[in-house]
């Protein structure tokens, strides 16, 4: 049985709630990723995405240097433990329509598991693909 700790990224770049969204965007650029965990110390308190920044800062004409991460981050973060089975992790991504899950142990971030990490484990390519197709399904908007 493979667990998340077998495939997760251990060296996770994070930002703090009071960091500017410009600082979060620079992390995203530097590590070529669209999501960064927001942490108080090592405790995950949110996730900020490139989409959060575009919709809540750029589209409103706000200054990315003066808007803080806590102003536009997602606060209800789905996490898993290092011992979570990778099948369960895939199901969590699909159920919650997310591509990355912070890995937390004893209340502290110890890694992050991305859908790409699941796809790298050959026997889980179909599962990762299923999760991605679920994540990528458009939501039906009411007019």
DSSP 118: H
What is the DSSP secondary-structure string of 38-52? EEETTEEEEEEEHHH
| Residue-level pLDDT at 117 | 87
Residue bearing the bigger pLDDT, 13 or 126:
13
> What's the pTM?
0.82
Q: How far is CA 106 from CA 43, 123, 125, in A?
A: 9, 30, 30
Q: What is the pLDDT of residues 60-119, one digit of tens each?
A: 999 999 999 999 999 999 999 999 999 899 889 888 888 899 999 999 999 999 988 887
**If pLDDT is split at 50, 70 and 90, which confidence band does 125 have?**
very low
Q: How far apart are CA 79 and CA 12, in angstroms?
A: 14
| Residue-level pLDDT at 136 | 52
Q: What is the pLDDT of residues 27-61, one digit of tens each?
A: 999 999 999 999 999 999 999 999 999 999 999 99
- The pLDDT of residue 21 is above 60: yes
Structure tokens at 44: 């995950």
Residue with token string 């502290």: 108
Q: What value does the mean pLDDT take over residues 122-127?
A: 49
Sequence-separated (6 or more) residues with CB below 8 Å from residue 123: none
Structure tokens at 38: 């927001």
Ranges of each domain in the chain: 4-136
CATH fold, domain 4-136, is CBS-domain (3.10.580)
């Amino acid at each position: 049985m493979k667990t998340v700790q077998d495939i997760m990224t251990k060296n996770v770049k994070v930002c703090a709630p009071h960091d500017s969204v410009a600082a979060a965007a620079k992390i995203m650029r530097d590590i070529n990723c669209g999501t960064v965990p927001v942490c108080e110390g090592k405790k995950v308190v949110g996730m900020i995405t490139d989409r959060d920044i575009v919709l809540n800062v750029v589209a409103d004409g706000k200054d990315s240097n003066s808007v803080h991460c806590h102003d536009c981050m997602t606060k209800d973060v789905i996490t898993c433990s290092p011992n979570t089975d990778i099948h369960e992790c895939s199901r969590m991504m699909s159920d919650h329509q997310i591509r990355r899950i912070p890995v937390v142990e004893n209340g502290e971030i110890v890694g992050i598991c991305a859908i790409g990490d699941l796809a790298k484990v050959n026997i889980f390519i179909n599962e990762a693909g299923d999760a991605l197709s679920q994540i990528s399904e458009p939501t039906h908007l009411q007019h």
